[in-house]
Amino acid sequence: MKILGIETSCDETAAAVVEDGVSILSNQIASQVEIHARYGGIVPEVASRQHILAIIPILKQAMTEARVIWSDLDGVAVTIGPGLAGSLLVGVNVAKAIALAHGLPIIGVNHLEGHIYANWLVEHSHGLAPLFPSVCLIVSGGHSDLVLMKGHGDYMVLGRTRDDAAGEAFDKAARILDLGYPGGPAIERSARAGTASIQLPRAWLKGTSDFSFSGVKTALLRLVEEGRVSIKADAAASFQEAVVDVLVTKTVAVAREHRVKQILLAGGVAANELLHQRLVKNSPIPVLVPQPVLCTDNAAMIAACAYYRCQAGKIDGLDLDVVPNLKLS
């Protein structure tokens, strides 16, 4: 079963063709990073206009790379939320047009669920297939969620961030340290040349599985404002260490408590090498992480997720609409 996936929730215009939820036939991504970098963050209006310009060429590239024509496809999947309303609209309307023109079923996908399903793209996951029950740590620019997954489409949110998401914290810290945008890769790069020698606070929020990253960001800002950061790389390494420490400790605790079989990492921050390494080192159970290009926004994960929704009979109609604040439930 071949599904065309479309993803336009934020600042990547992406299209992909995935077979049976696991094999990537094509995975095309047009990033807007350079356009938004000069503003130090995403400008929603610019993002939607850019999606309009990029979506058709990206779709054509995805179809060509996969060597498929419309009649080879069994469905079209698209992200309906969470994300920027104007950006989501571009993908959803294009998907509807394709579904109508070619008589294909349309499947609306939750972006966060899509991130989790990047772990099913098996040839990129070191041969390990996901098992249930598992704990998913979804860490992206807008979310830091700990989710218990008991089966396909069966989620229980155990914890979430109370303020900044992990990726958002990385982006803000990079801005404070003047390291550029997007912040996660910039902090990671800088941290390689430094040591985590500065003690930064951790919000443990004992008794809950929630996160909070605004305190560590403010502590870093104070140090910079007071002129107490002499080596930027040390500050980057210390910040990364503080965020990873909390993410890993809480994820392992939840995994033990719920006696799960695996931990699945998902979302842009899952591309962070220290997070992956530390989790593998501290976890008593196997940890799966998609390869970096499948951690950040892409359409292969949307098509993979849609395959399992189809198997469960969850097909949508042409009245499908965007849901910018969609939750995982």
List of residues contacting ligand KG4 (CB under 6 A): 10, 140-142, 167-168, 170-171, 182-185, 188, 267-269, 271-272, 296-297
- Least separation in angstroms between CB 140 and Zn ion: 4
- Least separation in angstroms between CB 206 and Zn ion: 29
- Least separation in angstroms between CB 73 and ligand KG4: 25
Nearer to Zn ion, 10 or 263 (CB): 10
In three state form, how does the secondary structure of the chain look?
CEEEEEECCCCEEEEEEEECCCEEEEEEEEECHHHHHCCCCCCHHHHHHHHHHHHHHHHHHHHHHHCCCHHHCCEEEEEEECCCHHHHHHHHHHHHHHHHHHCCCEEEEEHHHHHHHHHHCHHHCCCCCCCCCEEEEEECCCCEEEEEEEECCEEEEEECECCCCHHHHHHHHHHHCCCCCCHHHHHHHHHCCCCCCCCCCCCCCCCCCCECCHHHHHHHHHHHHCCCCCCHHHHHHHHHHHHHHHHHHHHHHHHHHCCCCEEEEECHHHHCHHHHHHHHHHCCCCEECCCHHHHCCCCHHHHHHHHHHHHCCCCECCCCCCCCCCCCC
Q: Which residue in the set 140, 209, 238, 272 belongs to the binding site for Zn ion (CB under 5 A)? A: 140
- Least separation in angstroms between CB 139 and ligand KG4: 7
Partner from ligand KG4, Zn ion, none contacting 272, C-beta within 5 to 8 A by type: ligand KG4
Partner from ligand KG4, Zn ion, none contacting 290, C-beta within 5 to 8 A by type: none
Nearer to Zn ion, 252 or 299 (CB): 299
User: By CB under 5 A, is residue 297 in contact with Zn ion?
Assistant: yes
Nearer to ligand KG4, 11 or 310 (CB): 11
Residues at the interface with Zn ion (CB under 5 A)? 140, 297
